[in-house]
Amino acid sequence: MNAKRSINRISAVVITFLALGTLLFALSSCRNGDGVASVGPAEQAGRSLDQANEKAGRDLNELADRATEGIGKAAQETRNTIDEAAEGASNGLDDATEAVGNRVERAGEQIRDSTQEQTQ
């Protein structure tokens, strides 16, 4: 049993050294020859995604601003069209009222003339 424990202990020590060696190798591969950390492919991909996300956000904000501007212009044009239509309708009503007034006045004159002729 002692031999089995020794083998297990040796295996644990070997596995520990292998794990540490792998970790040290991984850490050292992230540095260039000057000892300065270099950017790996995952870091580059992350930076590219961040830049793309920022650009998409800017583009969306610009499109939203343009849309808001366009909606504002369309609303103003609609208001102008409605105002013009209302003014035209008002003018039409004024003309119609004047025409009806003239006809009522003529009808009144005809009634007056008719009654004067009958009374004479």
pLDDT at 19: 81
* Residue recorded with tokens 């049993």: 1
Query: Which residue(s) pair with 37 in the sheet?
Result: 31
CA atoms within a 13 Å half-sphere pointing along the CA-CB vector of 112? 6
Q: Tens digit of pLDDT per residue, the chain (120 long)?
A: 566 667 777 778 788 878 877 776 766 655 555 555 566 777 788 888 889 998 998 899 898 898 899 999 999 999 999 999 999 888 888 888 998 889 989 988 888 888 877 776
CA distances 76 to 34, 54, 68, 85, 89, Å, are: 64, 33, 12, 14, 20
Determine the pLDDT at residue 32. 53
Q: CA-based angle 58:59:65, to the nearest 5?
A: 90
